[in-house]
């Protein structure tokens, strides 16, 4: 199956400039292709991953992917998909974000040198205003620019000259990569259509109408329940493990709706058509086993955070489910309890009843605390405690750093020992 047919099967093609031409090209040679990202934040989230997973698929099929980090374009701001003017970032912010994204991209894609990461600041910052106007401005027709969906939809609210110019900068990137790296295809989200076709026009004007360049966009990912893809209760799902721990990341995928899971497997994993077909059958016949969700969570977590993160995430999930938390490591506790109620306590020993009521306020009264203890509803560090006279030593487990309390079947509390 050709890479284009594969993308179609994965539901990953929204629009193409010349389907037949591109299919012919990818059959002939190792094609240079690119997608860009602007450093508007210091981490990617899972929505950003989509075009780059597609570059990766091209790479696996023997093609030559490039990632453009938009050190220059990020300092301007793409109006695509934005209802109002963006606030300019300071150049320090742009540089910081650009360094963070570059490191993230290198970690995900850049290890073997077959993925090139470049920064458009390197060529766009060298253009003088006069060169810009004389060499490029002349090749852009204001009417055409105004008619681009992005600009047209913004005319009522208004758009600054700066953001209006954005499409020219992205077009120069495509031209630059075409001239210097033989890049012939640009990929982006559905909102990038205007910028991509504008680059193709520029290349045709500059290099001749027979220059073979193509554009392909990816559909906006929609969930069956109509809500936006990629948000969890805590907001965006980040690739930076400090913002979204690998365990939370794993949980996000595990919680995928049955109606979405096959679509996500096609978008976010490198599993084959046969494997995904088997998982689709599993969802249809035994949805309660959640095999497809588990596989999705394993695959994506491994791709982004590595194998050890999957092992830890599964370990945490299992321990929290069974209540057998004693075997968790300190790092697993940090991840697994990030969003659970927590208190800070001293390392002093104390009667358990007082500790549950006065120190941690896990229990609302001594009477309730005694009742819960007698009923076997209280577990400390995974162990059931039924003696109302028991004493607690907060430093007795987890390197003296944590106490895990479970009340009833599911309610966990974390005490951090100071
Ligand atoms: N405009 C793209 C990012 C980008 C930047 C430079 C490019 O050459 C290509 C793409 C976006 O906002 O998603």
In CATH, what number does 3-218 get? 3.40.50.620
> Which residues lie closer than 8 Å to 194 by C-beta, 6 or more apart?
80, 148, 149, 150, 151, 167
- CB distance 195 to ligand 1 below 6 Å: yes
Instruction: Compute, in angstroms, the gap from residue 318 CA to the centroid of ligand 1.
Output: 41
pLDDT score, position 310:
96
pLDDT score, position 104:
94
**144: how many CB neighbours lie within 10 A of its CB?**
13
pLDDT score, position 186:
98
pLDDT score, position 110:
75
Q: Ligand 1: which atom is nearest the Cα of residue 170?
A: 8
pLDDT score, position 378:
94
pLDDT in tens, 142-191: 999 998 888 888 888 899 999 999 999 999 999 999 999 999 999 999 99
Distance CA 6, CA 161 (A): 40
Instruction: Compute, in angstroms, the gap from residue 70 CA to the centroid of ligand 1.
Output: 7
Residues of the chain falling short of pLDDT 50: none
Ligand 1, atom 11, residue with closest C-alpha: 37
> Which residues lie closer than 8 Å to 97 by C-beta, 6 or more apart?
39, 40, 41, 42, 74, 89
pLDDT score, position 410:
78
Residue with tokens 């979204």: 244
pLDDT score, position 38:
96
Domain 342-417 has CATH 3.10.290.10: yes
pLDDT score, position 44:
95
pLDDT score, position 156:
85
Ligand 1, atom 5, residue with closest C-alpha: 36
pLDDT score, position 286:
96
Would you kindly state where each structural domain of the chain is located, as residue ranges?
A: 3-218, 231-324, 342-417
Q: Angle at CA 268, nearest 5°, toward 101 and 149?
A: 70
Q: Given 1.10.357.10, 1.10.240.10, 3.40.50.720, 3.40.50.620, which CATH number is that of 231-324?
A: 1.10.240.10
The interface predicted TM-score of the complex, written ipTM, equals 0.98
Instruction: Give the residues across from 413 on adjacent strands.
Output: 405
């Amino acid at each position: 199956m050709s890479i284009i047919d594969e993308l179609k099967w994965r539901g990953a093609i929204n629009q193409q400039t010349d389907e037949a031409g591109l299919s012919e090209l990818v059959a002939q040679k190792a094609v240079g292709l690119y997608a860009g990202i602007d450093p508007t934040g210091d981490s990617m989230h899972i929505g950003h991953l989509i075009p780059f997973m597609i570059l990766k698929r091209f790479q696996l099929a023997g093609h030559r992917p490039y990632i453009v980090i938009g050190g220059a374009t990020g300092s301007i701001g793409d109006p695509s998909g934005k209802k109002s003017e963006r606030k300019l970032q300071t150049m320090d912010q742009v540089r910081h974000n650009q360094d963070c994204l570059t490191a993230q991209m290198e970690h995900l894609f850049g290890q073997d040198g077959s993925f090139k990461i470049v920064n458009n600041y390197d060529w766009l910052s060298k253009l003088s205003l006069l060169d810009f106007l004389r060499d490029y401005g002349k090749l852009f027709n204001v009417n055409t620019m105004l008619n681009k969906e992005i600009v047209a939809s913004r005319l009522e609210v208004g758009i600054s000259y700066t953001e209006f110019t954005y499409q020219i900068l992205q077009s120069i990137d495509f031209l630059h990569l075409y001239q210097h790296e033989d890049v012939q295809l640009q990929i982006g989200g559905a909102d990038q259509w205007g910028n991509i076709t504008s680059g193709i026009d520029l290349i045709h004007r500059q290099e001749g109408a027979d220059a073979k360049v193509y554009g392909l966009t990816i559909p906006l990912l929609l969930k069956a329940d109509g809500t936006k893809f990629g948000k969890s209760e805590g907001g965006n799902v980040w690739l930076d493990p400090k913002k979204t721990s690998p365990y939370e990341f794993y949980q996000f995928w595990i919680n995928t709706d049955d109606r979405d899971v096959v679509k996500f497997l096609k978008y976010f994993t490198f599993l084959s058509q046969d494997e995904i077909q088997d998982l689709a059958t599993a969802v249809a016949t035994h949805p309660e086993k959640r095999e497809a969700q588990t596989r999705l969570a394993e695959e994506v977590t491994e791709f982004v955070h590595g194998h050890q993160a999957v092992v830890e995430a599964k370990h945490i999930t299992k321990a929290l489910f069974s209540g057998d938390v004693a075997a968790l490591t300190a790092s697993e506790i940090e991840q697994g309890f990030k969003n659970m109620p927590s208190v800070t306590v001293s390392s002093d020993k104390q009667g358990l009843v007082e500790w549950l009521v006065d120190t941690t306020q896990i229990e609302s009264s001594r009477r309730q605390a005694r009742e819960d203890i007698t009923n076997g509803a209280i577990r400390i560090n995974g162990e059931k405690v039924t003696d109302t006279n028991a004493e607690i030593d907060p430093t007795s487990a987890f390197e003296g750093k944590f106490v895990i309390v479970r009340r009833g079947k599911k309610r966990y509390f974390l005490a951090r020992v100071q």
